[in-house]
Amino acid sequence: MAKAEIEAGICGFVTRVETRMEGEGCAVSIESDCGNIQSLASELNAVDPIQEIMYRGEGPVVLKLAPKHSLHTACPVPNGIIKAVEVEAGLALPADASIRVTRS
């Protein structure tokens, strides 16, 4: 199982993602303080890991569902979900990612 904890930023919402390979697919479990992410989670139960990491064909399901559930375009949660899927599928090693935003 791969896990990700995503602190989305100024909104203060935290999302926890757990992924587990089941055959060729990857089961996805999401808990979040954000209502929009909760809505996305109700529809996102499993994904094809290869489809999630490429923009070929239909592209990532997670990124297709984001606008349907009114996620802000800068929300890091969809990418965090994809990173957890990628690690669980053995397509990447686990490593933290971050975005630092400042104003000068």
**Domains of the chain, first to last:** 2-88 (3.90.1010.10)
**What average pLDDT values come out for the chain (104 residues) when binned by 10 residues?**
95 97 96 97 97 91 97 96 98 94 93
Question: What's the pLDDT score for residue 1?
Answer: 97
* Token pair belonging to 11: 């909104």
| C-alpha span between 98 and 35 (Å, rounded) | 23
* Residues 78, 40: Cα–Cα separation, whole Å: 10
| pLDDT (0 to 100) of residue 57 | 85
